[in-house]
Amino acid sequence: MPDERATTGNAEIVDAGGVRNPFTGVPWRARLLSAGFVLSDFLSVCIAYLMADWLYFTPLFEGMRRRSHYDPTAFLAMGLGMGLLLILSFGSLGLYSRGVSVLNVEEDVLLLKGLLFNAFAALALSFLLRDHPISRIALVSALVLTGPLVLLGRRFIRGLSAWFLSAGVGGIPVILYGAGDTGRQLADRLLRNPQFGLVPVGFVDDRKHGSEKAVRFGPGRRMELPLLGAGERVIEIMEKRQARLLLVAVPKLGSERLLQIQEACRSAGKNCYHVPLFAVGPLRRFDMTFVGDIPLVCERTSTSSLLGRAAKRTFDVVVSAFLLVGLSWIFLLVALLIKLTSKGPAFFAQERIGYGGRPFRMYKFRTMHTHAPAYARKPDSARHPAIYPLGRVLRRLSIDELPQLWNVLKGKMSLVGPRPEMPQIAKEYDTVQRERFLVLPGMTGLWQVSADRALPIHENVDYDLYYIYNQSLLLDLVILIRTALSFFRGH
Protein backbone atom coordinates (compact mmCIF):
# COMPACT_ATOMS: atom_id res chain seq x y z
CA MET A 1 0.00 0.00 0.00
CA PRO A 2 1.11 3.56 -0.43
CA ASP A 3 1.83 5.89 2.44
CA GLU A 4 -1.78 6.93 3.05
CA ARG A 5 -2.87 3.85 4.97
CA ALA A 6 -6.17 3.45 6.78
CA THR A 7 -5.77 2.06 10.25
CA THR A 8 -8.07 0.72 12.93
CA GLY A 9 -5.78 2.17 15.59
CA ASN A 10 -4.04 -1.17 16.10
CA ALA A 11 -3.45 -2.82 12.72
CA GLU A 12 -3.48 -1.88 9.07
CA ILE A 13 -6.19 -2.70 6.59
CA VAL A 14 -4.44 -4.89 4.05
CA ASP A 15 -5.33 -4.81 0.35
CA ALA A 16 -6.45 -8.30 -0.56
CA GLY A 17 -8.50 -7.73 -3.68
CA GLY A 18 -5.75 -7.22 -6.19
CA VAL A 19 -7.46 -4.14 -7.66
CA ARG A 20 -6.77 -0.41 -7.56
CA ASN A 21 -6.07 0.97 -4.11
CA PRO A 22 -9.12 3.15 -3.23
CA PHE A 23 -7.15 5.37 -0.86
CA THR A 24 -5.11 6.79 -3.74
CA GLY A 25 -8.37 8.09 -5.21
CA VAL A 26 -8.96 10.65 -2.47
CA PRO A 27 -5.59 12.16 -1.47
CA TRP A 28 -7.07 15.63 -1.98
CA ARG A 29 -9.25 15.10 1.10
CA ALA A 30 -6.25 14.41 3.32
CA ARG A 31 -4.38 17.40 1.86
CA LEU A 32 -7.41 19.67 2.30
CA LEU A 33 -7.92 18.57 5.91
CA SER A 34 -4.22 19.04 6.66
CA ALA A 35 -4.35 22.53 5.14
CA GLY A 36 -7.36 23.30 7.31
CA PHE A 37 -5.47 22.20 10.43
CA VAL A 38 -2.44 24.29 9.46
CA LEU A 39 -4.58 27.40 8.96
CA SER A 40 -6.54 26.75 12.15
CA ASP A 41 -3.38 26.26 14.27
CA PHE A 42 -1.75 29.42 12.93
CA LEU A 43 -4.87 31.53 13.44
CA SER A 44 -5.33 30.10 16.95
CA VAL A 45 -1.88 31.32 17.99
CA CYS A 46 -2.45 34.75 16.42
CA ILE A 47 -5.83 35.09 18.14
CA ALA A 48 -4.26 34.05 21.46
CA TYR A 49 -1.66 36.82 21.21
CA LEU A 50 -4.31 39.38 20.16
CA MET A 51 -6.47 38.41 23.14
CA ALA A 52 -3.48 38.57 25.49
CA ASP A 53 -2.60 42.02 24.16
CA TRP A 54 -6.16 43.18 24.85
CA LEU A 55 -6.21 41.60 28.33
CA TYR A 56 -2.94 43.32 29.23
CA PHE A 57 -4.62 46.73 29.11
CA THR A 58 -7.74 45.70 31.06
CA PRO A 59 -8.16 46.25 34.83
CA LEU A 60 -7.44 42.54 35.30
CA PHE A 61 -3.69 43.14 35.00
CA GLU A 62 -3.57 46.76 36.09
CA GLY A 63 -1.79 45.99 39.35
CA MET A 64 0.64 43.55 37.70
CA ARG A 65 2.04 45.77 34.97
CA ARG A 66 5.76 46.27 35.49
CA ARG A 67 6.90 47.89 32.25
CA SER A 68 6.15 51.52 31.55
CA HIS A 69 6.82 50.91 27.86
CA TYR A 70 5.07 48.11 26.01
CA ASP A 71 5.19 47.75 22.25
CA PRO A 72 2.14 45.81 20.98
CA THR A 73 3.70 45.60 17.51
CA ALA A 74 6.73 43.68 18.79
CA PHE A 75 4.49 41.40 20.87
CA LEU A 76 2.16 40.60 17.95
CA ALA A 77 5.14 40.04 15.65
CA MET A 78 6.38 37.50 18.19
CA GLY A 79 2.93 35.88 17.99
CA LEU A 80 3.32 35.47 14.22
CA GLY A 81 6.68 33.82 14.76
CA MET A 82 5.31 31.49 17.42
CA GLY A 83 2.46 30.57 15.08
CA LEU A 84 4.91 29.53 12.38
CA LEU A 85 7.01 27.63 14.94
CA LEU A 86 3.94 25.77 16.17
CA ILE A 87 3.10 24.66 12.63
CA LEU A 88 6.67 23.40 12.14
CA SER A 89 6.67 21.52 15.45
CA PHE A 90 3.24 19.99 14.80
CA GLY A 91 4.38 19.00 11.33
CA SER A 92 7.50 17.28 12.70
CA LEU A 93 5.26 15.34 15.12
CA GLY A 94 3.07 14.14 12.26
CA LEU A 95 -0.04 15.99 13.39
CA TYR A 96 -0.93 16.95 9.83
CA SER A 97 -0.70 13.44 8.41
CA ARG A 98 -2.11 11.03 10.98
CA GLY A 99 -5.52 9.63 11.86
CA VAL A 100 -7.07 9.38 15.30
CA SER A 101 -6.70 6.71 17.97
CA VAL A 102 -8.90 5.52 20.82
CA LEU A 103 -10.66 8.67 22.10
CA ASN A 104 -8.12 10.64 20.03
CA VAL A 105 -5.61 10.50 22.91
CA GLU A 106 -2.57 9.92 20.67
CA GLU A 107 -3.27 13.20 18.90
CA ASP A 108 -3.77 14.91 22.28
CA VAL A 109 -0.39 13.63 23.53
CA LEU A 110 1.36 14.97 20.43
CA LEU A 111 -0.52 18.27 20.71
CA LEU A 112 0.64 18.56 24.31
CA LYS A 113 4.25 17.91 23.23
CA GLY A 114 4.06 20.57 20.52
CA LEU A 115 2.39 23.13 22.79
CA LEU A 116 4.96 22.58 25.55
CA PHE A 117 7.81 23.00 23.07
CA ASN A 118 6.21 26.18 21.74
CA ALA A 119 5.76 27.55 25.27
CA PHE A 120 9.37 26.86 26.28
CA ALA A 121 10.60 28.40 23.03
CA ALA A 122 8.51 31.55 23.59
CA LEU A 123 9.69 31.94 27.19
CA ALA A 124 13.33 31.42 26.17
CA LEU A 125 12.95 34.00 23.40
CA SER A 126 11.46 36.50 25.84
CA PHE A 127 14.58 36.24 28.01
CA LEU A 128 16.85 36.67 25.01
CA LEU A 129 14.93 39.79 23.93
CA ARG A 130 15.24 41.65 27.24
CA ASP A 131 15.92 44.93 25.48
CA HIS A 132 12.59 44.76 23.65
CA PRO A 133 9.39 45.92 25.36
CA ILE A 134 7.58 42.56 25.44
CA SER A 135 5.55 41.94 28.59
CA ARG A 136 5.99 38.48 30.09
CA ILE A 137 2.57 38.88 31.70
CA ALA A 138 1.02 39.20 28.26
CA LEU A 139 3.21 36.35 26.97
CA VAL A 140 2.11 33.92 29.69
CA SER A 141 -1.51 34.91 29.01
CA ALA A 142 -1.03 34.15 25.31
CA LEU A 143 0.53 30.76 26.09
CA VAL A 144 -2.34 29.85 28.41
CA LEU A 145 -4.89 30.79 25.72
CA THR A 146 -3.09 29.00 22.89
CA GLY A 147 -3.87 25.44 23.98
CA PRO A 148 -7.68 25.76 24.27
CA LEU A 149 -7.89 27.78 21.05
CA VAL A 150 -5.87 25.19 19.12
CA LEU A 151 -8.12 22.39 20.42
CA LEU A 152 -11.30 24.30 19.55
CA GLY A 153 -10.00 25.15 16.09
CA ARG A 154 -9.07 21.56 15.34
CA ARG A 155 -12.42 20.29 16.57
CA PHE A 156 -14.17 22.79 14.28
CA ILE A 157 -12.12 21.75 11.22
CA ARG A 158 -12.67 18.03 11.88
CA GLY A 159 -16.39 18.58 12.46
CA LEU A 160 -16.69 20.63 9.26
CA SER A 161 -14.92 17.93 7.27
CA ALA A 162 -17.15 15.23 8.77
CA TRP A 163 -20.24 17.29 7.88
CA PHE A 164 -19.19 17.55 4.23
CA LEU A 165 -18.46 13.83 4.23
CA SER A 166 -21.88 12.97 5.70
CA ALA A 167 -23.45 15.19 3.03
CA GLY A 168 -21.87 12.99 0.38
CA VAL A 169 -19.18 15.40 -0.78
CA GLY A 170 -16.22 13.38 -2.01
CA GLY A 171 -16.88 10.26 0.05
CA ILE A 172 -16.60 6.62 -1.08
CA PRO A 173 -19.46 4.37 0.19
CA VAL A 174 -18.09 1.39 2.16
CA ILE A 175 -19.68 -1.86 3.34
CA LEU A 176 -18.24 -3.48 6.48
CA TYR A 177 -18.18 -7.29 6.55
CA GLY A 178 -18.46 -8.26 10.20
CA ALA A 179 -20.50 -6.57 12.93
CA GLY A 180 -18.39 -7.80 15.82
CA ASP A 181 -15.98 -5.81 17.96
CA THR A 182 -13.45 -5.29 15.17
CA GLY A 183 -16.09 -4.14 12.67
CA ARG A 184 -17.53 -1.70 15.18
CA GLN A 185 -14.08 -0.29 15.95
CA LEU A 186 -13.40 0.10 12.24
CA ALA A 187 -16.68 1.93 11.65
CA ASP A 188 -15.87 4.28 14.52
CA ARG A 189 -12.36 5.01 13.16
CA LEU A 190 -13.65 5.70 9.64
CA LEU A 191 -16.32 8.11 10.82
CA ARG A 192 -13.80 9.96 13.00
CA ASN A 193 -11.16 10.06 10.23
CA PRO A 194 -12.79 12.05 7.43
CA GLN A 195 -9.42 12.45 5.69
CA PHE A 196 -9.76 8.86 4.43
CA GLY A 197 -12.92 9.84 2.54
CA LEU A 198 -14.54 6.47 3.31
CA VAL A 199 -18.20 6.51 4.37
CA PRO A 200 -19.48 3.30 6.02
CA VAL A 201 -23.09 2.74 4.95
CA GLY A 202 -23.81 -0.51 6.78
CA PHE A 203 -22.74 -3.96 7.95
CA VAL A 204 -23.14 -7.44 6.58
CA ASP A 205 -22.68 -10.34 8.98
CA ASP A 206 -23.31 -14.07 8.72
CA ARG A 207 -23.87 -14.69 12.44
CA LYS A 208 -25.99 -11.66 13.36
CA HIS A 209 -28.21 -11.62 10.28
CA GLY A 210 -31.82 -11.33 11.39
CA SER A 211 -30.97 -10.85 15.08
CA GLU A 212 -30.92 -7.05 14.99
CA LYS A 213 -31.82 -4.23 12.61
CA ALA A 214 -28.96 -1.89 13.49
CA VAL A 215 -25.45 -2.18 14.89
CA ARG A 216 -24.51 0.31 17.58
CA PHE A 217 -20.87 1.33 18.05
CA GLY A 218 -18.53 4.08 19.16
CA PRO A 219 -18.10 5.54 22.67
CA GLY A 220 -21.31 5.02 24.60
CA ARG A 221 -22.74 3.09 21.60
CA ARG A 222 -24.17 6.40 20.40
CA MET A 223 -23.69 5.77 16.68
CA GLU A 224 -25.38 3.12 14.60
CA LEU A 225 -25.42 1.69 11.09
CA PRO A 226 -27.94 -0.72 9.57
CA LEU A 227 -27.34 -4.46 9.40
CA LEU A 228 -27.96 -5.00 5.69
CA GLY A 229 -27.93 -8.77 5.45
CA ALA A 230 -25.80 -11.90 5.40
CA GLY A 231 -22.38 -12.16 3.79
CA GLU A 232 -23.59 -14.42 0.99
CA ARG A 233 -25.50 -11.41 -0.43
CA VAL A 234 -22.60 -8.97 -0.08
CA ILE A 235 -22.17 -8.23 -3.82
CA GLU A 236 -25.91 -7.71 -4.24
CA ILE A 237 -25.93 -5.36 -1.23
CA MET A 238 -22.91 -3.43 -2.53
CA GLU A 239 -24.61 -2.92 -5.89
CA LYS A 240 -27.82 -1.75 -4.21
CA ARG A 241 -25.98 0.66 -1.94
CA GLN A 242 -23.60 1.77 -4.73
CA ALA A 243 -20.64 0.82 -2.53
CA ARG A 244 -17.27 0.53 -4.26
CA LEU A 245 -15.34 -0.90 -1.34
CA LEU A 246 -15.72 -3.85 1.03
CA LEU A 247 -13.79 -3.93 4.31
CA VAL A 248 -13.66 -7.41 5.83
CA ALA A 249 -13.43 -6.94 9.60
CA VAL A 250 -13.52 -10.51 10.92
CA PRO A 251 -10.04 -11.32 12.28
CA LYS A 252 -10.94 -15.00 12.85
CA LEU A 253 -12.48 -15.53 9.42
CA GLY A 254 -11.33 -18.72 7.73
CA SER A 255 -8.87 -18.31 4.87
CA GLU A 256 -11.10 -20.30 2.49
CA ARG A 257 -14.05 -18.00 3.15
CA LEU A 258 -11.83 -14.93 2.72
CA LEU A 259 -10.66 -16.19 -0.67
CA GLN A 260 -14.30 -16.64 -1.73
CA ILE A 261 -15.10 -13.05 -0.75
CA GLN A 262 -12.04 -11.73 -2.56
CA GLU A 263 -12.90 -13.63 -5.74
CA ALA A 264 -16.52 -12.42 -5.63
CA CYS A 265 -15.34 -8.80 -5.28
CA ARG A 266 -12.77 -9.19 -8.05
CA SER A 267 -15.39 -10.62 -10.42
CA ALA A 268 -17.78 -7.78 -9.63
CA GLY A 269 -15.08 -5.12 -10.06
CA LYS A 270 -15.19 -4.13 -6.37
CA ASN A 271 -12.31 -3.31 -4.06
CA CYS A 272 -11.79 -5.63 -1.09
CA TYR A 273 -9.59 -4.95 1.92
CA HIS A 274 -9.37 -7.06 5.04
CA VAL A 275 -8.16 -6.73 8.58
CA PRO A 276 -5.28 -9.21 9.15
CA LEU A 277 -6.44 -12.63 10.28
CA PHE A 278 -5.74 -13.38 13.97
CA ALA A 279 -7.19 -16.45 15.63
CA VAL A 280 -5.27 -16.05 18.90
CA GLY A 281 -6.53 -12.81 20.43
CA PRO A 282 -7.87 -9.29 19.86
CA LEU A 283 -6.16 -6.96 17.40
CA ARG A 284 -5.15 -4.58 20.16
CA ARG A 285 -2.52 -7.14 21.26
CA PHE A 286 -0.62 -7.06 17.96
CA ASP A 287 1.62 -4.75 15.99
CA MET A 288 2.24 -4.84 12.24
CA THR A 289 5.38 -3.74 10.49
CA PHE A 290 6.94 -4.27 7.06
CA VAL A 291 10.28 -5.67 5.92
CA GLY A 292 10.33 -4.30 2.40
CA ASP A 293 6.89 -5.34 1.13
CA ILE A 294 6.55 -8.33 3.50
CA PRO A 295 4.12 -7.74 6.40
CA LEU A 296 5.19 -9.02 9.82
CA VAL A 297 3.05 -9.31 12.92
CA CYS A 298 4.23 -9.52 16.52
CA GLU A 299 2.56 -9.50 19.92
CA ARG A 300 2.64 -6.13 21.62
CA THR A 301 4.28 -5.52 24.98
CA SER A 302 3.97 -2.72 27.50
CA THR A 303 5.97 0.40 26.63
CA SER A 304 6.80 1.07 30.28
CA SER A 305 10.52 1.39 31.06
CA LEU A 306 12.31 1.56 34.41
CA LEU A 307 12.76 5.32 33.97
CA GLY A 308 9.13 5.72 32.94
CA ARG A 309 7.89 3.76 35.95
CA ALA A 310 10.10 5.84 38.26
CA ALA A 311 8.78 9.09 36.75
CA LYS A 312 5.19 7.87 37.04
CA ARG A 313 5.67 6.83 40.68
CA THR A 314 7.33 10.15 41.55
CA PHE A 315 4.47 12.03 39.87
CA ASP A 316 1.90 9.93 41.78
CA VAL A 317 3.57 10.54 45.15
CA VAL A 318 4.01 14.30 44.65
CA VAL A 319 0.49 14.92 43.31
CA SER A 320 -1.32 12.63 45.78
CA ALA A 321 0.56 14.12 48.77
CA PHE A 322 -0.17 17.66 47.57
CA LEU A 323 -3.86 16.90 47.04
CA LEU A 324 -4.24 15.09 50.38
CA VAL A 325 -2.90 18.15 52.17
CA GLY A 326 -4.65 20.73 50.00
CA LEU A 327 -8.01 18.95 50.11
CA SER A 328 -7.88 17.96 53.78
CA TRP A 329 -10.63 20.46 54.61
CA ILE A 330 -12.88 18.82 52.00
CA PHE A 331 -12.19 15.41 53.58
CA LEU A 332 -13.23 16.74 57.00
CA LEU A 333 -16.31 18.52 55.63
CA VAL A 334 -17.54 15.51 53.61
CA ALA A 335 -16.90 13.10 56.49
CA LEU A 336 -18.90 15.35 58.83
CA LEU A 337 -21.80 15.66 56.36
CA ILE A 338 -21.91 11.87 55.90
CA LYS A 339 -22.09 11.33 59.67
CA LEU A 340 -24.85 13.93 59.97
CA THR A 341 -27.01 12.62 57.10
CA SER A 342 -26.54 8.84 57.29
CA LYS A 343 -25.93 6.19 59.91
CA GLY A 344 -22.60 4.45 59.70
CA PRO A 345 -18.93 5.24 59.09
CA ALA A 346 -17.81 8.06 56.80
CA PHE A 347 -15.34 5.87 54.91
CA PHE A 348 -15.91 2.61 53.08
CA ALA A 349 -13.18 0.00 52.53
CA GLN A 350 -13.45 -2.78 49.98
CA GLU A 351 -11.07 -5.45 48.74
CA ARG A 352 -10.05 -4.98 45.11
CA ILE A 353 -7.56 -6.76 42.86
CA GLY A 354 -4.50 -4.74 41.93
CA TYR A 355 -1.05 -5.05 40.38
CA GLY A 356 0.02 -8.65 39.77
CA GLY A 357 -3.44 -9.92 40.70
CA ARG A 358 -2.80 -9.16 44.39
CA PRO A 359 -5.68 -7.94 46.59
CA PHE A 360 -5.61 -4.62 48.47
CA ARG A 361 -8.06 -2.51 50.42
CA MET A 362 -9.44 0.43 48.45
CA TYR A 363 -10.95 3.39 50.29
CA LYS A 364 -13.89 5.59 49.33
CA PHE A 365 -16.37 7.86 51.02
CA ARG A 366 -19.43 5.78 51.85
CA THR A 367 -22.30 6.59 49.47
CA MET A 368 -24.67 3.69 50.23
CA HIS A 369 -26.62 2.62 53.30
CA THR A 370 -24.75 0.24 55.59
CA HIS A 371 -27.23 -2.59 54.89
CA ALA A 372 -26.32 -2.59 51.18
CA PRO A 373 -24.24 -5.63 50.08
CA ALA A 374 -20.53 -4.73 50.16
CA TYR A 375 -19.65 -6.56 46.94
CA ALA A 376 -22.75 -6.07 44.84
CA ARG A 377 -22.29 -4.84 41.28
CA LYS A 378 -22.44 -1.09 40.69
CA PRO A 379 -26.04 0.22 40.89
CA ASP A 380 -27.42 0.85 37.41
CA SER A 381 -29.02 4.14 38.46
CA ALA A 382 -28.11 7.07 40.71
CA ARG A 383 -31.67 6.80 42.07
CA HIS A 384 -31.03 3.30 43.42
CA PRO A 385 -32.63 3.00 46.90
CA ALA A 386 -29.37 1.71 48.39
CA ILE A 387 -27.77 5.14 47.75
CA TYR A 388 -28.69 7.81 50.27
CA PRO A 389 -29.30 11.42 49.06
CA LEU A 390 -25.86 12.86 49.90
CA GLY A 391 -24.27 9.77 48.37
CA ARG A 392 -25.90 10.60 45.04
CA VAL A 393 -24.24 14.01 45.08
CA LEU A 394 -20.85 12.52 46.02
CA ARG A 395 -21.10 9.98 43.20
CA ARG A 396 -22.25 12.59 40.69
CA LEU A 397 -19.21 14.78 41.43
CA SER A 398 -16.85 11.78 41.94
CA ILE A 399 -15.98 13.15 45.39
CA ASP A 400 -16.45 9.66 46.82
CA GLU A 401 -13.25 8.63 44.98
CA LEU A 402 -10.97 11.14 46.77
CA PRO A 403 -9.88 8.79 49.62
CA GLN A 404 -8.17 6.66 46.96
CA LEU A 405 -5.42 9.30 47.00
CA TRP A 406 -4.26 7.45 50.13
CA ASN A 407 -4.05 4.24 48.07
CA VAL A 408 -1.99 6.16 45.50
CA LEU A 409 0.39 7.51 48.14
CA LYS A 410 0.86 3.98 49.56
CA GLY A 411 1.70 2.62 46.10
CA LYS A 412 -1.33 0.34 45.80
CA MET A 413 -2.87 2.49 43.07
CA SER A 414 -1.81 5.13 40.56
CA LEU A 415 -3.52 8.36 39.53
CA VAL A 416 -4.06 6.86 36.07
CA GLY A 417 -4.57 3.22 35.16
CA PRO A 418 -7.23 0.51 34.74
CA ARG A 419 -9.95 0.52 37.37
CA PRO A 420 -9.46 -2.15 40.07
CA GLU A 421 -12.15 -4.82 39.96
CA MET A 422 -13.86 -6.77 42.75
CA PRO A 423 -12.43 -10.26 43.50
CA GLN A 424 -15.46 -12.25 42.34
CA ILE A 425 -15.36 -10.56 38.94
CA ALA A 426 -11.56 -10.65 38.57
CA LYS A 427 -11.72 -14.40 39.27
CA GLU A 428 -13.66 -14.84 36.02
CA TYR A 429 -11.18 -12.83 33.90
CA ASP A 430 -9.92 -14.49 30.73
CA THR A 431 -6.31 -14.28 29.55
CA VAL A 432 -6.78 -10.94 27.83
CA GLN A 433 -8.62 -9.31 30.74
CA ARG A 434 -5.90 -10.44 33.16
CA GLU A 435 -3.48 -8.13 31.32
CA ARG A 436 -5.03 -5.36 33.45
CA PHE A 437 -2.85 -6.69 36.27
CA LEU A 438 0.33 -5.72 34.39
CA VAL A 439 0.08 -2.14 35.73
CA LEU A 440 -1.11 -0.46 38.90
CA PRO A 441 -4.86 0.22 38.92
CA GLY A 442 -5.81 3.89 38.71
CA MET A 443 -8.22 6.42 40.13
CA THR A 444 -9.03 7.45 36.58
CA GLY A 445 -8.27 6.13 33.11
CA LEU A 446 -9.39 6.00 29.50
CA TRP A 447 -12.54 4.05 30.37
CA GLN A 448 -13.57 6.63 32.97
CA VAL A 449 -13.27 9.57 30.53
CA SER A 450 -15.09 7.73 27.73
CA ALA A 451 -18.80 7.58 27.04
CA ASP A 452 -18.60 3.86 27.85
CA ARG A 453 -18.08 4.53 31.57
CA ALA A 454 -21.73 3.60 32.17
CA LEU A 455 -20.95 0.06 30.97
CA PRO A 456 -19.27 -2.56 33.22
CA ILE A 457 -15.49 -2.15 33.64
CA HIS A 458 -14.67 -5.72 32.62
CA GLU A 459 -16.56 -5.33 29.32
CA ASN A 460 -14.30 -2.46 28.18
CA VAL A 461 -10.90 -4.11 28.10
CA ASP A 462 -9.98 -2.33 24.86
CA TYR A 463 -9.43 0.97 26.70
CA ASP A 464 -7.16 -0.65 29.26
CA LEU A 465 -5.15 -2.59 26.67
CA TYR A 466 -4.56 0.62 24.77
CA TYR A 467 -3.29 2.33 27.92
CA ILE A 468 -1.06 -0.59 28.93
CA TYR A 469 0.62 -0.71 25.51
CA ASN A 470 0.99 3.07 25.14
CA GLN A 471 1.47 4.37 28.69
CA SER A 472 3.57 7.47 29.23
CA LEU A 473 3.65 10.43 31.57
CA LEU A 474 2.23 12.68 28.85
CA LEU A 475 -0.63 10.24 28.25
CA ASP A 476 -1.33 10.34 32.00
CA LEU A 477 -1.44 14.15 31.85
CA VAL A 478 -3.89 14.06 28.93
CA ILE A 479 -6.17 11.65 30.81
CA LEU A 480 -5.99 13.74 34.00
CA ILE A 481 -6.87 16.89 32.03
CA ARG A 482 -9.84 15.10 30.46
CA THR A 483 -10.90 13.86 33.92
CA ALA A 484 -10.82 17.43 35.25
CA LEU A 485 -12.89 18.64 32.31
CA SER A 486 -15.43 15.85 32.91
CA PHE A 487 -15.65 16.91 36.55
CA PHE A 488 -16.39 20.54 35.65
CA ARG A 489 -19.02 19.37 33.17
CA GLY A 490 -20.60 17.33 35.97
CA HIS A 491 -20.12 13.97 34.19
What integer pLDDT is reported at residue 29 of this predicted model? Answer: 65
- Strand, coil or helix: what is 476? helix
d(CA 329, CA 371): 28
- Strand, coil or helix: what is 311? helix
CATH assignment of 14-20+171-299, among 3.40.50.300, 2.60.40.1930, 3.40.50.720, 3.30.1550.10: 3.40.50.720
Return the closest-CA partner of residue 239 out of 274, 215, 275, 267. Answer: 267
CB distance 313 to 411 below 8 Å? yes
The domain locations on the chain are: 14-20+171-299, 29-164, 306-489
Pick from 51-60, 135-144, 348-357 the range whose average pLDDT is largest. Answer: 348-357
What integer pLDDT is reported at residue 102 of this predicted model? Answer: 64
- In order, the DSSP letters of 346-382 are SEEEEEEE-GGG-EEEEEEE--B-TTS-TTPPPPSST
Phi, psi for 97 (deg, rounded to 5):
-140, 15
Residues 41-61 have a mean pLDDT of 90
Angle between helices 328-341 and 306-326 (to 10 degrees): 60
Mean pLDDT of the chain: 81
Per-residue pLDDT at 2 exceeds 70: no
CB distance 299 to 371 below 8 Å? no
d(CA 200, CA 192): 11
Chain-centre distance for alpha carbon 65 = 40
What integer pLDDT is reported at residue 66 of this predicted model? Answer: 58
pLDDT tens profile 282-314: 556 666 666 766 767 777 766 677 888 899 999
Residue 315 CB neighbours (<10 A)? 17
174-178, 253-257, 351-355: which range is least confident on average?
253-257
In sequence order, which ranges of 192-292 are alpha helices (DSSP H)? 234-240, 255-268
